[in-house]
């Protein structure tokens, strides 16, 4: 959907009230903030409820929209609180919520059907198919992957039924958003829950900052972005200072208004404000390589420090007023500013026994707007005042306060659905279900030849769709690439059609767009762990969309998985990152990649294997195997009947050994990861 306005919205971040004041002063059309809960930047200052109410009022007075992030994964025990929180935000006048969890979206749509929802980039939408599915879920805007090129952005804009918002400037994650488990699996802090420890900024392979990317800047591409039809241009930075927000927003406000790219002096301000050795536009122009790598040097920090910080004060909106005070009638005040008018009534004037009211005296009292966002000069007040009347100063002050409060209030009076949060009972499976993903077709072929009985114990074996032609024997399932841009859809569609013709029945899907693709070619969708299902409502929503079985998020404990009902990864290295950039090609070369020799080693000596994905994307796997073969009793107590295995860099013999040990309930000598019990 192309935007309706001449220019795209400029959307600025704010992690504090100071940053919000800076964003509005710098000319943002909209600001996005997080509350104290459910936002993907848990370590920002963020806003409590009173702060959010003040933020809405301030933004709306200045004609700026306010969006609130509710874009973390949500656990079952949190859904009722999230529902109540969303209702509070709706009543206080928040313009839209930014969401990622399908269970949260389902509950918000049920309770607050008029609340606008924007699909967060955490939802892993990267093609038109995903945007269409987001529209069916009730979203009015999608924030697709930051890894899209201009060509793919334009394609989604032209074909999508909803608005498209793209990132314009700020920090880049090396992993596709919503697909990173590195911080969670290695450091115990979930990026999907707003607690990312930024392991990508650490050194690997002997002090090389391989995974640390420069910040994004599209300051040289403003004309192309305007022509693309995108509805909103988003600046990243809710963890940044107010001065950062002001400088970056001010530059882009100027560039948009003047419809041009940045000049050198403006690029310097952007870099001095914050950079990691410069900026990158690699994804946007379709050039992903080592030039995207960047770290924040001491020189970068010194340049930022030289700019300094300043405090931002609220800007007041200039208002006019008319006052009517007549004997025996309620006093009335009408306040007008920025096209908005409010009228309030107050106390009834009485006959003055001494010192009657004067026009100048009333104007002077009413002009004292105090701690509000309104400026009212005595000369801008029109007054109709009967002679010889009086009204207590407290009553005049109350009239002024009521008028200011009515003008600043954004409260919605529309009733909401007050029914309690929807309850979804998990499906109980009457029989066991076992699946496995094999990333190496050769290992699968050798395993099938040497140990057909082990492969036969699997209900579904998934092989990468783009490598299916390497196999003579057709597996029962294919793994659809977790990222497929619009420019790749035709090729992936052809591969799915050939797979269906060869007898493949199932497709492992990693995002909402892949669900539609699988169904289009007659394959039964099975939900991958990348769907990030962490609550029963989310599971139910995916099932409504046609997913028949779901592998739950590996961030869940066994009791959580029990309450939701779904599959659990019980054996294998879990993929921690999916990168758009091919580190394999850059570091070890294609031959070593084909031999499965790629990987990175952290400062503690842990090695994380790396494999090439579709179109030279990379998968980085956990250094430790997840293994529950010797803890089957725990799985049984948690009613886990759907077990999923992942085989990545292991040989056929190693896979056979793991499967046999798992079957016998034997422990492994290796250091392994366990699924938590609480």
Q: Choose one of 228, 247, 263: the last residue of a domain.
A: 263
The pLDDT of residue 431: 74
Task: Indicate whether 248 and 103 sit together in one domain.
Answer: yes
Same domain, 127 and 234: yes
Q: What single-letter DSSP state applies at residue 483?
A: -
Query: What's the pLDDT at 430?
Result: 55
Contact indicator for 634, 677 with CB cutoff of 8 Å: yes
DSSP 297: -
**236 lies in some domain:** yes
Q: What digits encode the pLDDT tens for the residues 90-129?
A: 999 999 999 999 999 999 999 999 999 999 999 999 999 9
**How confident is the prediction for the chain on average, in pLDDT?**
94
**pLDDT interval class at 39 (50, 70, 90):** low
Mark whether 497 and 457 lie in a shared domain. Answer: yes
Q: Which of 523, 527, 522, 561 is nearest to 541 (CA)?
A: 527
Q: Phi, psi at residue 217, to the nearest 5°?
A: -145, 120
**Contacts of 4 by beta carbon, 8 Å cutoff, 6+ apart:** none
Kindly provide the b/e burial profile for residues 7-25, where b requires at least 16 CB atoms within 10 angstroms of the residue's own CB: ebbbbbbbbbbbbbbbbbb
Q: Is the confidence at residue 292, as pLDDT, over 90?
A: yes
Question: Rounded to whole angstroms, how far apart are CA atoms 330 and 350?
Answer: 10
Strands 116-119 vs 141-142: parallel, antiparallel or unpaired: parallel
677 or 523, greater pLDDT: 523
Which of 1-5, 325-329, 539-543, 583-587 is least confident?
583-587
Say if 184 falls within a structural domain: no
In whole angstroms, give the CA distance from residue 373 to residue 318: 9
Domain carrying residue 109: 9-172+215-263
Does residue 545 carry a pLDDT above 70? yes
Predicted pLDDT at 584: 86
Label each residue of 585-602 as H, E or C.
HHHCHHHHHHCCCCEEEC
Residue 120 located in a structural domain: yes
* Same domain assignment for residues 26 and 163: yes
Of all residues in the chain, the percent with pLDDT exceeding 70 is: 96
Residue 587: its pLDDT value, please?
Answer: 75
- Checking DSSP bridges between strand 317-318 and strand 374-375, what pairing results, if any? parallel
Q: How high is the pLDDT of residue 218?
A: 98
User: What pLDDT digit, counting tens, does each position of 460-496 carry?
Assistant: 999 999 999 999 989 999 999 999 999 999 999 999 9
Q: Which of 207, 199, 149, 203 is nearest to 175 (CA)?
A: 199
User: Which residue is listed with tokens 């082990």?
Assistant: 454
Closest alpha carbon to 375 in 136, 86, 62, 646: 62
First to last CA, the chain: 45
Same domain as 482, residue 359: no
* Residues 107 and 232 grouped into a single domain: yes
User: Do residues 402 and 454 both lie within one domain?
Assistant: no
Q: Is residue 97 part of a domain?
A: yes
Radius of gyration of the chain (CA): 29
Predicted confidence at residue 589, as pLDDT, reads 75
Q: Do 166 and 114 share a structural domain?
A: yes
Query: Considering 263, 285, 300, which residue would you say is the last residue of a domain?
Result: 263
CB 67 within 8 A of CB 120: no
State the pLDDT at residue 425. Answer: 63
The label of the residue with tokens 């962490």 reads: 534
Taking the whole predicted model, whether its pTM rises above 0.85 is answered as: yes
pLDDT attached to residue 414: 60
Burial of 91: CB neighbours in 10 Å, binned 0-12, 13-18, 19+: middle
- Residue 427: its pLDDT value, please? 61
Mean pLDDT of 266-291: 97
Tokens representing 494 are 């052809």
State the pLDDT confidence band at 429, using cuts at 50, 70 and 90: low
Residues 6+ apart with CB under 8 A from 604: none
CATH of the domain at 532: 3.20.20.70
Same domain, 463 and 391: no
Kindly state whether residues 149 and 224 are assigned to the same domain. yes
Say yes or no to pLDDT of 37 above 90.
no
- Domain total of the chain: 3
Looking at the domain assignment, is residue 593 inside a domain?
no
Helix or strand holding residue 433 (H, E): strand 433-438
On the question of pLDDT at 88 being above 60, the answer is yes
- 627-638 pLDDT, tens per residue? 999 999 999 999
DSSP state of 348: P
Band the pLDDT of 188: cuts 50, 70, 90.
confident
pLDDT exceeds 70 at position 420:
no
- Please check whether residue 133 lies inside any domain of the structure: yes
Tens digit of each residue's pLDDT (9 = 90 or more) over 378-389: 999 999 999 999
Asked whether residue 380 falls in the same domain as residue 482, the answer is no
Give the per-residue pLDDT at 428.
57
> Distance between CA atoms of 232 and 125, rounded to whole angstroms?
16
Q: How far is 125 from 179, CA to CA, in rounded Å?
A: 11
Query: What does the DSSP 8-state code read for residue 58?
Result: H
- Residue 236 has a pLDDT of 97
- What's the pLDDT at 447? 97
CA dihedral 5, 6, 11, 17 (to 10 degrees): -80
256 and 363 fall within a common domain: no
CA gap 188, 263 in Å, rounded: 43
270 within some domain: no
Is 597 within a domain? no
């Amino acid at each position: 959907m192309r935007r309706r306005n001449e220019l795209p919205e400029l959307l600025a971040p704010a992690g504090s009230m100071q940053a919000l004041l800076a964003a509005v002063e710098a000319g943002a059309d909209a600001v996005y903030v997080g509350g104290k809960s459910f936002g993907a930047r848990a370590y920002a200052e963020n806003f409590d409820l009173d702060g959010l109410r003040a933020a809405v009022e301030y933004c709306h007075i200045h004609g700026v929209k306010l969006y609130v992030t509710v874009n973390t994964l949500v656990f079952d025990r949190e859904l009722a609180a999230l529902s109540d929180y969303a209702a509070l935000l709706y009543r206080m006048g928040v313009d839209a919520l930014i969401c990622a969890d399908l269970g949260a979206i389902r509950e918000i749509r049920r309770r607050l059907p008029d609340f606008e929802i924007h699909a967060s980039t955490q939802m892993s939408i990267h093609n038109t198919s995903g945007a269409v599915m987001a529209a069916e879920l009730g979203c009015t805007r999608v924030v697709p992957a930051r890894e899209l090129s201009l060509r793919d952005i334009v394609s989604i804009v032209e074909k999508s039924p909803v608005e498209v918002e793209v990132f314009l400037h700020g920090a880049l994650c090396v992993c596709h958003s919503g697909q990173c488990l590195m911080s969670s699996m290695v450091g115990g802090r979930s990026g999907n829950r707003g607690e990312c420890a930024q392991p990508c900024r650490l050194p690997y392979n002997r002090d090389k900052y391989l995974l640390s990317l420069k910040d994004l800047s599209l300051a040289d591409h403003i004309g192309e972005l305007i022509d693309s039809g995108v509805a909103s241009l988003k600046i990243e930075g809710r963890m940044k200072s107010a001065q950062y927000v002001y400088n970056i927003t001010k530059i882009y406000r100027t560039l948009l208004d003047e419809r041009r790219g940045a000049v050198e002096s403006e690029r310097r301000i952007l870099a001095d404000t914050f950079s990691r050795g410069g900026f990158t536009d690699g994804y946007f122009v379709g050039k992903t390589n080592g030039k995207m790598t960047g770290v924040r040097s001491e020189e970068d920090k010194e340049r930022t420090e030289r700019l300094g910080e300043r405090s931002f004060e609220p800007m007041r909106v200039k208002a006019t007023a008319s006052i009517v005070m007549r004997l025996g009638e309620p006093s009335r005040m009408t306040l007008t500013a920025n096209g908005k008018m409010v009228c309030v009534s107050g106390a009834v004037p009485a006959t003055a026994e001494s010192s009657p009211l004067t026009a100048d005296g009333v104007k002077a009292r009413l002009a004292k707007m105090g701690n509000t966002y309104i400026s009212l000069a005595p000369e801008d007040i029109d007054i109709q005042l009967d002679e010889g009347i009086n009204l207590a100063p407290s009553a005049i002050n109350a009239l002024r306060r009521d008028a200011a409060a009515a003008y600043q209030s954004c409260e919605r009076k529309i009733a909401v659905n007050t029914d309690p949060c929807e309850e979804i009972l998990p499906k109980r499976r009457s029989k066991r279900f076992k699946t496995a993903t094999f990333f190496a077709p050769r290992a699968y072929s050798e395993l099938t030849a040497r140990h057909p009985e082990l492969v036969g114990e699997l209900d579904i074996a998934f092989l990468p769709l783009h490598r299916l032609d390497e196999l003579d024997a057709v597996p029962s399932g294919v793994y659809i690439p977790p990222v497929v841009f619009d420019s790749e859809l035709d090729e992936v569609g052809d591969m799915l059609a050939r797979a269906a013709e060869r007898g493949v029945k199932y497709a492992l899907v990693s995002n909402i767009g892949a669900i539609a693709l699988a169904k289009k070619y007659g394959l039964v969708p099975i939900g991958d762990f990348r769907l990030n299902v962490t609550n029963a409502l989310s599971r139910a929503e995916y099932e409504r969309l046609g997913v028949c079985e779901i592998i739950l998020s590996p961030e869940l404990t066994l009791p959580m998985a029990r309450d939701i009902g779904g599959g659990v990864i019980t054996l294998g290295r879990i993929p921690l990152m999916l990168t758009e950039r091919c580190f394999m090609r850059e570091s070890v070369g294609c031959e070593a990649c084909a031999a499965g020799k790629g990987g990175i080693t952290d400062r503690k000596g842990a090695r994380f294997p790396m494999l090439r994905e579709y179109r030279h994307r990379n998968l980085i796997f956990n250094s430790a195997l997840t293994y529950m073969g010797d803890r089957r009793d725990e799985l049984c107590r948690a009613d886990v009947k759907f077990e999923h295995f992942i085989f990545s860099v292991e040989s056929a013999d190693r896979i056979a050994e793991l499967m046999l040990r798992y079957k016998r309930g034997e422990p492994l000598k290796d250091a392994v990861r366990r699924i938590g019990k609480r």
